[in-house]
Amino acid sequence: MIPVEKFLDHGDSIETQAPQAAQRWQAYLSVAAGKRESLKPGDRIPWKGAEILVVSSNGHVLSKPVKGGKANKALCAQAEQKTPDQTENGRSLGFLLSFGRFKFLDLGDLTWDKEIELACPVNKLGAVSLYQPTWHGFFNDRSGPPALVWAIRPQVAIVNNGPRKGIGTQALYERLSKIPGIEGIWQQHLSLINENEPHNTSNDMIANLEPTAECQGRGIMVAVEPTGRFTVKNERNGFSKTYKSR
């Protein structure tokens, strides 16, 4: 229903063996025919007044740090290593959007081993204003290494989780709440996993409180000003907070 002039992706899918996956891939190729562009780390997506830098794609990450990136010795010294991800998640197309002082980092479903490459031994991304935690909010603890999350020091995080997918434990929520200088954590859904553990933000900052079958699909909106001020608003209740990019 929405006309799409160009499809930006990380390259061909590696998950086309199962019949349903093959069907989805062929459907994508059909709808994107003649309008598809595959990007690599370091590419820039044109956008008047702003800059969008590709930082991960097709299993590769930036080779050099952006301005503001620096050695990450303290966090990397104790960084846990995990088995490399062999699925599409590890090939996610990730970007850093800059608009004046405001910086937004979205790495999609990128997984632990590739995030470590962005963080160690050098934090290649610098500090950001707004961060979307990877893979629905560190699903099954397969993404979101502290070496990266605490190095980029986001002021605000918006978790694109589901009622039973992402930030399912107190430990995973604390990975966000203990970020140095964090000013706000917002969630798409109230996490209903491990309900006896404190692992949700304030209800005012959660867009959907219902289980999956009853979800209304409300969103979290962000409006950014050229000055670097940005306002996050909960579509469910109209609650909003304004932050100033550092």
DSSP per-residue codes, 208-240: E-S-GGG-----EEEEE-TTSEEEEEETTT--E
Kind and range of the H or E run holding 144: none
CB 127 within 8 A of CB 67: no
Q: pTM score, two decimals? A: 0.96
Q: In the prediction, which pLDDT does 1 show?
A: 87
The secondary structure element, H or E, covering residue 171 is: helix 170-177
Domain boundaries, the chain: 1-38, 39-244
Q: How far apart are CA 104 and CA 95, in angstroms?
A: 8
Return per-residue pLDDT of the chain as tens, 246 residues: 889 999 999 999 999 999 999 999 999 999 999 999 999 999 999 999 999 999 999 999 999 999 989 999 999 999 999 999 999 999 999 999 999 999 999 999 999 999 999 999 999 999 999 999 999 999 999 999 999 999 999 999 999 999 999 999 999 999 999 999 999 999 999 999 998 899 999 999 999 999 999 999 999 999 999 999 999 999 999 999 999 999
What is the predicted pLDDT for the residue at 108? Answer: 97
Residues 99, 97: Cα–Cα separation, whole Å:
7
